Amino acid sequence: MKRISVDMDGVIANVYSQFVAMHAAEFGKLVTADEMNGKPEDVAFENALQYVRSPGFFRSAPVIEDSKEVLRKLNDQYKIFIVSAAMEFPNSLVEKHAWLNEHFPFIGWQQMVFCGSKEIIKADIMIDDHFKNLNFFTGETILFTQPHNKLANALDHKRVENWQEIERLLLP
């Protein structure tokens, strides 16, 4: 059975909505998609590092549309591993674990991989929104479009815009 490594932030957890909401609460201004496109999160949102260190940032992130339904289907035909770099920010590990248990109860603890660097990940397919994770990966790579990577050439990665595209790509 093929293994799929699925990133959390920006792939199944909508952290961009968190950034937008926290920025709006702090500065009274909504950052538009055009203002975010092509910029790393810490450039698009000047206090991004403060936001990700805030209690509740990861725990209260909305689920990306259709990710739950498609992952449930994929979980029946592939070995799914949710892989997240969860060591950098103090609240991240506990909040991400609780978030997965709440929103993806069909993903067991054995399928959750919290790490520092994703360089150690061995799977057949990796779905991620960051080139830094995809570029070293030796299997098939799927780039999930987010504002920070929207203007970049996908290089050797297959780009998808949403979970319906992943479903069409990976499920017969």
Q: Are 61 and 100 in contact (CB under 8 A)?
A: no
Amino acid at 161: E
Q: Which residues are catalytic?
A: 7, 9
